Amino acid sequence: MENGIKDKVVAITGASSGIGKATAIMLAKQGARVVLGARRADRLEELTHQIIEAGGQAVYVVTDVKQRNDLLNLVQLAEEKFGRLDVIVNNAGIGHLSRIDELQVEDWEEMIDVNLKGVLYGIAAALPVFRKQGSGHIVNIISTSGIKIVPLQGVYAGTKNAVRTIAEALRQEAGDQLRVTGISPGFVNTELADHMKDPGIRAAMMEQIDKIAISPDAIASAVAFAISQPSNVDVGDIVVRPTAQN
């Protein structure tokens, strides 16, 4: 069976840990050339070395998705090192959970900057390359929080559903030259909860993660599945969650 991943050039944001790291390792093992972006240079360097030592191809550049130029640099690196870009995985994300009436406006702004504007910056950086090539694939890591709306997650879910809406419009506008995939993870064993500011919420989330969370590899497998399909097959939305998650 033909490997639809081998030799594809894939840029990944938030690649230094969690879903991004698992995706980079899995795709590289299947022959993709991965271009890694995240804020932590030491982790990026370690991951790149790990992939190369295992026989894969990887490069990295420090990338803060809140900065549009950083996304442009990520895409430029793909072109400089590998001559093209086939896929961008908009994975970087942050979650601050609180009641809306607590008015954590700075947290709202950060989630909008990372979860929404960061994805838009990734799309804006990749689209001109995809148009020039006549092909490309945008994969957005969204969340089940945007599917089942619950208290404390209103703004977080709002940013994720904004991405879902924008991506669907892009898919319809794009014609047959662009594929757009949304992947919505449920509880996954990542560092997302570590950055939640409220100690009580953070503890509750981490307890739930300890009980039911699935491996980031499960999400990486979904990314690999979408990317590996023939060019005329567009995988729209994939939901991946623990069987124990309501």
pLDDT at 1: 38
Domain-embedded: residue 65 = yes
Residues 6+ apart with CB under 8 A from 66: 113, 114, 117, 118
Token match 């969650």: residue?
241
Please answer whether residues 89 and 167 qualify as being in contact, where contact means their C-beta atoms are separated by less than 8 angstroms. no
pLDDT given for residue 238 in this prediction: 97
Domain annotation covers residue 144: yes
Which alpha helices (DSSP H) does the chain contain, by range? 18-29, 41-53, 68-82, 105-111, 118-133, 154-174, 199-212, 216-228
Residues (pLDDT < 50) of the chain are 1
Residue 107 lies in a domain: yes
How many domains are contained in the chain? 1
Let me know if residue 3 belongs to a domain: no
State the residue for tokens 């960061």: 118
- Domain span at residue 140? 9-239
Does 244 reside within a domain? no
Is residue 229 within 8 A of residue 137, CB to CB? The reply is no
Residue at 200 is within a domain? yes
Residues β-bridged to residue 182 = 140, 237
pLDDT tens-place string over residues 88-139: 999 999 999 999 999 999 999 999 999 999 999 999 999 999 999 999 999 9
The CATH number of whichever domain residue 28 belongs to comes to 3.40.50.720
* Residue 116 CB neighbours (<10 A): 18
DSSP three-state, residue 217: helix
Q: How far apart are the C-alpha atoms of 229 and 105, rounded to whole Å? A: 41
Q: Flag whether 1 is in a domain.
A: no
Residue 11 CA to residue 98 CA, distance in Å, equals: 32
Q: Which residues are designated catalytic?
A: 156
Q: What pLDDT was estimated at residue 66? A: 98
Answer whether residue 246 is part of any domain: no
CA distance 98 to 90: 24
